[in-house]
């Protein structure tokens, strides 16, 4: 509104924008109950394996496939009961956050992307800052993946490790270069989209 008022106060014609949504605004069923059941199954299966492996005399168990030999000085060794309990405790602490990540991942893969088309009539607008609020909506990253990866839906209690994996570091699924003219975030009112292109050109 402030941008429109400044334009009206001068000799330039008023700003006249057409804003079009390319794609759909989706209405989805809640996924939290489904994810909660999947997490309950993960915890139950882990407890069964934990009890079974900790009572076996065999030196090679299910947990040996989780920690490869390069981490263990060339010797296969299952995580200790203490390490297993510590992993379970950390997993339970992070479960609410991971359930949200799992939900966003499912929606990001399964739902088609949505875009915006902005057309300016009669005049060019240089360095615009246009904010849009979609009330009672939220945005999730659109992910270009052919199939769902179950380990991204349900965080494993003990995740496989690899020699070149950086602990505590993860790559963002959608890398946005500096200067990209669209930013989005979820806030209390809904989904907020901020557009900052070099210009809106007249149609």
Tens-place pLDDT, residues 103-135: 999 999 999 888 888 888 888 888 889 999 999
The predicted-structure confidence for 4-28, as pLDDT tens digits, reads as follows 555 555 567 778 888 899 988 888 8
Read off the pTM: 0.67
- What is the share, in percent, of the chain residues with pLDDT greater than 70? 71
Q: Which two tokens stand for residue 91?
A: 């997993």
Strand pairing category for 190-195 and 130-135: antiparallel
Residue 132: strand, helix, or coil: strand
CA distances from 46 to 50, 85, 149, 190 (A): 6, 11, 19, 38
* Cβ 203 vs Cβ 147: under 8 Å: no
Rounded to 5 degrees, what are φ and ψ at 62? -55, -35
**What pLDDT digit, counting tens, does each position of 33-56 carry?**
999 999 999 999 988 887 776 665
Query: Taking the alpha carbons of 146, 143, 66, 158 in that order, is the dihedral positive or negative?
Result: negative
């Amino acid at each position: 509104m402030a941008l429109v008022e400044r334009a009206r106060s001068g000799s330039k014609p008023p700003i006249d924008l057409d804003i079009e949504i390319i794609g759909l605004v989706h209405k989805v069923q809640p996924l939290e109950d489904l994810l909660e059941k999947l997490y309950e199954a993960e915890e139950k299966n882990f407890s069964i394996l934990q009890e079974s492996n900790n009572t076996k005399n065999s030196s090679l168990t299910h947990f040996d496939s989780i920690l490869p030999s390069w981490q263990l000085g060339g010797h296969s060794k299952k995580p200790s009961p203490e390490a297993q309990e510590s992993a379970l405790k950390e997993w339970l602490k992070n479960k609410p956050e991971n359930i949200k990540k799992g939900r966003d991942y499912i929606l990001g893969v399964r739902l088609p992307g949505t875009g915006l088309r902005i057309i300016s009539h009669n005049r060019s607008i240089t360095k615009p800052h246009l904010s849009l609020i979609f009330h009672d909506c939220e945005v999730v990253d659109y992910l270009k993946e052919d199939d769902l990866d179950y380990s991204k839906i349900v965080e494993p209690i003990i995740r496989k490790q690899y020699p070149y994996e950086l602990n505590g570091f993860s790559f963002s699924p959608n890398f946005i270069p500096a200067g990209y003219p669209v930013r989005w975030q979820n806030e209390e009112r809904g989904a907020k989209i901020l557009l900052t292109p070099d210009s809106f050109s007249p149609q």
